[in-house]
């Protein structure tokens, strides 16, 4: 049994964002040192069904923290479980939560109370519950990586400009998405009365939004919004970035039922036209 492409891409992304933080022990098993928290190392075991329907597990914990509070395996497993949702990778969010919960090496406070840690974890759980609806209605592409830049697209069915804008803004509340260098969007809306709206946002990646809108246009899609994130790894990749943006957007569309719905709608319109004749 080999690791899923999603897991392999996730490990590559983590290694690009946090160099030397994760080490592969064998297939499905890794050792992760929390960035800026070198005193805290965890063993990770990924089930073969990850990320489709099974969460990873913490298999061991190594801590050389001199603070009075000693993190325990159950607490860290709860943090990890709180970040997992079926079909989505969770390692980046887990790392960010760990960095927020536990003191960094630059934190010189003499001690940390267990109650403070538990309170922070409770706050993260509340945040997770709120974020549980962020991805509702979205279909996600696989991650494309090229020279330390990473691209991921999401598409959703929408029926108004306001709905498209609100769904995009909700996505930006996710920590990983918020850290992207660019979050490019495009949407096309057709009302029942035939009035149409279409627009895009480059978010600093010049011409990217217009290319996404062009993709939706040539595919004949209406009532759809596409959202593409790019995490910049420090190396410029030239026009290849536009190819990756378009490819992951197209993949997300093909993974969804948007094309099927559009084709069905077109057939119904043809039938109605024939009846009128």
CATH of the domain at 104: 3.10.110
User: Looking at the predicted structure, is the pLDDT value of residue 113 above 70?
Assistant: no
User: What's the pTM?
Assistant: 0.54
Residue 92 has pLDDT above 70, yes or no: yes
Q: Tell whether 127 and 231 lie within a shared domain.
A: no
The residue out of 131, 162, 186 marking a domain boundary is 131
Instruction: For residue 229, name the pLDDT band (cuts at 50, 70, 90).
Output: very high
Number of domains in the chain: 2
Q: Check whether residue 256 and residue 147 sit in a common domain.
A: yes
Domain that holds residue 162: 138-265
- CA-CA distance, 74 to 80, in Å (whole number)? 10
**pLDDT at residue 275 in the model:** 41
Contacts for 246 with CB less than 8 Å, ≥ 6 apart: 211, 212, 215
**pLDDT, tens digit, for every residue of 154-189?**
999 999 999 999 999 999 988 889 888 999 999 999
Phi, psi of 244 (to 5 degrees): -65, -40
Note whether 89 and 14 are same-domain residues: yes
pLDDT band at 128 (very low <50, low <70, confident <90, very high): very low
Regarding whether 152 and 122 lie in a shared domain, the answer is no
Q: What is the CA radius of gyration of the chain?
A: 22
Token pair in block for residue 17: 């964002």
Q: State whether 124 and 215 are in the same domain.
A: no
Task: Tell me: do 11 and 123 sit in the same domain.
Answer: yes
């Amino acid at each position: 049994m080999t690791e899923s492409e999603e897991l392999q891409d996730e490990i590559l992304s983590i290694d690009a964002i946090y160099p030397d933080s994760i080490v592969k022990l064998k297939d499905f098993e890794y050792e992760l040192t929390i960035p800026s928290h070198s005193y805290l190392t965890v063993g990770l075991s990924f089930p073969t069904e990850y990320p489709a329907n099974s969460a990873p597990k913490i298999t061991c914990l190594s801590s050389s923290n001199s603070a009075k509070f000693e993190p325990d395996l159950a607490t860290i497993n709860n943090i990890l479980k709180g970040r997992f949702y079926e079909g989505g990778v969770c390692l980046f969010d887990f790392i960010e939560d760990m960095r927020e919960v536990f003191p960094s090496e630059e934190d010189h406070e003499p001690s940390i109370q267990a109650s403070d840690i538990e309170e922070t974890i409770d706050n993260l759980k509340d945040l997770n519950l709120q974020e549980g609806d962020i991805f509702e209605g979205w279909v996600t592409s696989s991650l494309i990586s090229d020279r330390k830049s990473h691209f991921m697209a999401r598409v959703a069915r929408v029926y108004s400009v306001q709905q498209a804008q609100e769904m995009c803004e909700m996505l930006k509340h996710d920590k990983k998405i918020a850290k992207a260098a660019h979050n490019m969007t495009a949407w096309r809306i057709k009302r029942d009365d035939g009035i149409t709206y279409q627009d895009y946002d480059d978010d600093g990646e010049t011409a990217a939004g217009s290319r996404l809108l062009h993709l939706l246009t040539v595919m004949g899609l209406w009532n759809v919004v596409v959202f593409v994130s790019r995490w910049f790894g420090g190396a410029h990749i030239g026009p290849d970035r536009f190819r990756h943006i378009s490819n992951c957007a197209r993949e997300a569309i093909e993974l969804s039922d948007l094309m099927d719905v559009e084709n069905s709608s077109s057939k119904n319109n043809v039938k109605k036209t024939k009846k009128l004749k």
